[in-house]
Amino acid sequence: LPEPGTVEFKDVTFGYPGAEAPVLSGISFTAKPGQTTAIIGSTGAGKTTLLNLIPRLYDATEGEILIGGVPLKELGREAISRNISAVPQRPYLFSGTIASNLRFGAQDASDEELWEALDIAQSTDFVTEREGQLESTISQGGTNVSGGQRQRLCIARALAAKPMTYLFDDSFSALDVNTDAKLRAALAEPTKDAAVIIVAQRVSTITEADQILVLDHGEIVARGTHEELLESSETYQEIVTS
Ligand code: TTP
Ligand code: MG
């Protein structure tokens, strides 16, 4: 069996219920633990759809997705939520304390572990400055927190769960380039044994990725490292220069 946390797509096709054309066609790749797999491509290419198939928000129409060699359908919801942390493109906070938001998916996390996660997510100052700190309240939908902070709190939430697989859907683009770089450097240690899949808008976010998948109209049109793709893929060159 592949290592736990390995994500494998085998010739996956997916169309939304009721839609005529598939949004994803013939998607095959392996995201290995200890590696970062990046997905880049223009808006509407199907990046979010691809990520959402992994925690089974939808099921593949054709083909198969496996985690650690086990087909998703055999894993069960509980194992899926325990092993995968997803930071969605529109990160969501519910009304309640910061601590309860961070413990969603990590009920047993100590305050110390929450602070560690916040530190990695570059949110220590933000939480320290709030009255009540971890016990300070987030309003419904997180509207009393900025978009960038919301994104970082959702990254901290994902870290607190200590999963084997991390999914980041465009989680760094609302951050300034400096914070983006700091946060990703801090992520290296806690995610070093996990399979990390990052959807990115900015090429600078993914130049170090072990493999980059270029998605175009629901198909992987090129794959490789940043250097390889600069040589081989016109679509990638266009993304880099746009
Ligand atoms: P997405 O998967 O949302 O495309 P994306 O994530 O690559 O785009 P962005 O960079 O803007 O985040 O959409 C792919 C196609 O699927 C698009 O035609 C919209 C459609 N779609 C639905 O029909 N229902 C859905 O719930 C979603 C998420 C997308
Ligand atoms: Mg998207």
pLDDT of residue 127: 95
Cα-to-chain-centroid distance, residue 163:
12
Q: What CATH number is given to the structural domain containing 174? A: 3.40.50.300
Residue 40, in any domain of the structure = yes
Alpha helices in the chain (DSSP H): 47-53, 72-75, 77-83, 98-102, 111-120, 124-128, 147-160, 177-187, 226-232, 234-241
- Residue 176 corresponds to which amino acid? D
Minimal-distance CA residue to ligand 1 atom 2 = 46
Domain annotation covers residue 119: yes
pLDDT of residue 176: 87
- Domain annotation covers residue 82: yes
Question: Which residue, 138, 113, 118, is CA-closest to 128?
Answer: 118
State the pTM of this model.
0.95
Contact (Cβ atoms closer than 8 angstroms) between residue 3 and residue 32: yes
Range of the domain at 93: 7-241
Q: Give me the amino acid identity at 115.
A: W
Are 93 and 138 in contact by the 8 Å Cβ rule? The answer is yes
Which residues make Cβ contacts (< 8 Å) with residue 29, sequence separation at least 6? 8, 9, 37, 211, 213, 220, 223
In a domain, 1, yes or no: no
Tell me which DSSP letter residue 18 carries.
Answer: T
Burial class from Cβ neighbours inside 10 Å (0-12, 13-18, 19+) for residue 14 reads buried
Atom of ligand 1 nearest to the CA of 42: 10
Phi-psi category of residue 132: left, alpha or beta, with phi > 0 → left and psi -120 to 50 → alpha:
left
- The tally of CA atoms less than 13 A away on the side-chain side of residue 106 is 24
Q: Calculate the alpha carbon distances from 84 to 15, 34, 39, 125 in Å.
A: 23, 15, 17, 27
Q: Which pLDDT score is estimated for 84?
A: 95
Ligand nearest to the CA of 41: 1
213 and 194 in contact (C-beta within 8 Å)?
no
Residue 133: the pLDDT is 96
Q: Whose alpha carbon is nearest atom 29 of ligand 1?
A: 49
Residues 59 and 3: beta-carbon distance below 8 Å? no
How far, in Å, is the centroid of ligand 2 from the Cα of 50? 9
User: Does 70 fall in a domain?
Assistant: yes
Assigned domain for 62 exists: yes
Counting the structural domains of the chain, the total is 1
Distance 138 CA to ligand 2 centre (A): 25
Nearest to residue 183, comparing CAs of 135, 136, 138, 148? 148
ipTM for the predicted complex comes to 0.98
Residue 172 pLDDT: 87
**Residue with CA closest to ligand 1 atom 19:** 44
User: For residue 2, is it within any domain?
Assistant: no
pLDDT at res. 140: 76
At residue 204, the pLDDT reads 86
Q: pLDDT digit of tens for each residue in the chain (242 aa)? A: 889 899 999 999 999 999 889 999 999 999 999 999 999 999 999 999 999 999 999 999 999 999 999 999 999 999 999 999 999 999 889 899 999 999 998 899 999 999 999 999 999 999 999 999 999 999 877 778 888 899 999 999 999 999 999 999 999 888 888 998 899 999 999 999 999 999 998 888 899 999 999 999 999 999 999 999 999 999 999 999 98
- Give the closest ligand to the alpha carbon of residue 214: 1
Tell me if 169 sits within 8 A of 86, measured CB to CB.
yes
Residue 25 lies in a domain: yes
Cα distance from N-terminal residue to C-terminal residue, the chain = 41
